[in-house]
Amino acid sequence: MRELVETLRNCSVLTVGDTDDFTANGGIVQFKVIDARVRIEIDAEAAGRANLRISSKLLSLADPARH
């Protein structure tokens, strides 16, 4: 997975995953289950590198990416 995310790093592709270290490995959106609820973590810097803009409404719902 890490190799694929690295290959897409500077392309305008929204990468989404659910592995524990997805955003830490360069992915943009990571799904997490916390207290039986699905949460999202968004790496806004990774989105910027991919020339993608994430809406402020979506960002407000997300947990900040932790590296």
Condensed to tens digits (0 to 9), the pLDDT of residues 2-60 reads: 788 788 877 899 999 999 999 998 899 999 999 999 999 999 999 998 999 999 999 99
What pLDDT sits at residue 11?
Answer: 85
Residue closest to 14 by CA, chosen among 34, 22, 37: 22
Helices (H) and strands (E) in the chain, counts: 3, 4
Q: How far apart are alpha carbons 51 and 20 in whole angstroms?
A: 24
What pLDDT sits at residue 65?
Answer: 62
Q: How far apart are alpha carbons 63 and 12 in whole angstroms?
A: 22
Alpha helices in the chain (DSSP H): 2-8, 44-49, 56-61
**Residue type, position 29, single letter:** V
Q: Could you tell me the pTM of the whole model?
A: 0.82
